[in-house]
Amino acid sequence: MPKITFFNLPEDKRENLVHAAKKEFARVPLYQASISNIIKDAKIPRGSFYQYFDDKEDAFFYLLNSHVSAYKMYFLETLQKNNGDIFDAMIDFYTAIITEERENLQFLRNLFLNMTHRIENVMARSFGENDLNENFRKISNLINKERLNMQDEQELFHMMQIISSVTFHNIVKKFAGELPFDEAVHNYSTEIYLLKKGFASI
């Protein structure tokens, strides 16, 4: 979490520093990122960087959490737009992620191709939660459960965990294989459709 001095900066200086950090994390993964490049691009002394962040991980996770907050809002809007259909909402959500503007897309590419447990836990909050908490219930309340074969919230939670795994897997495949947009959306839509349909013939 950034220090209070970061939030006390004038908005233009704060945005300048955020842009410089995002540019560096879009250029290379977190473990290769250089504070020197960030401060050079932001045109601030090295000492100033440490007045705002503890280290580069602190800056990275601030950016990541900002992305996740925006994605979470977008996902809730997408759920509402699709009248609570979780499967159609996820296809819209996936499509939005892989068509991000260039700098954000490169940031996400580095993110997903260098995934750690901590990063995955943060990203999962974009369209779900790691626990049955209040945020999960906000999502649950928007899902049309009449169209689902679910017994309770626990099963819904586990369904969302499965959808999360499928979504992450497809984003990684898209970035790692540099799949064309149409092919990536087709692959993901097919897997989501199979989840929607179920595999058992009863």
pLDDT at 119: 86
Question: Which one, of 71, 81, 84, lies nearest residue 150 by Cα?
Answer: 84
Residue 188 lies in a domain: yes
Question: How confident is the model over 108-160, as pLDDT tens digits?
Answer: 889 888 988 888 888 877 666 556 677 788 889 999 998 888 888 889 989 99
* Burial letters 37-53, b for 16+ CB under 10 A, else e: bbbebbebeeeebeebb
Separation CA 166–CA 168 (nearest Å)? 6
Residue with tokens 């842009």: 19
Residue with tokens 């955020």: 18
Residue with tokens 């068509």: 99
Cβ-Cβ contacts under 8 Å for 40 (sequence gap 6 or more): none
Cβ-Cβ contacts under 8 Å for 196 (sequence gap 6 or more): 87
Work out the mean pLDDT of the chain and round it to a whole number.
90
Question: How confident is the model over 99-116, as pLDDT tens digits?
Answer: 987 778 899 889 888 988
Residue 26 lies in a domain: yes
Angle among Cα 179, 185, 186 to the nearest 5 degrees reads 100
pLDDT at 130: 59
Whether the predicted pLDDT of 57 surpasses 90: yes
Residue 202 lies in a domain: no
Separation CA 3–CA 194 (nearest Å)? 46
Separation CA 11–CA 143 (nearest Å)? 37
Residue 44: which CATH number? 1.10.357.10
Segments forming the whole domain that contains residue 115: 4-197
Question: Which one, of 72, 6, 81, lies nearest residue 44 by Cα?
Answer: 6
The number of distinct structural domains making up the chain is 1
Quick one: DSSP state of residue 9? S
Separation CA 77–CA 126 (nearest Å)? 12
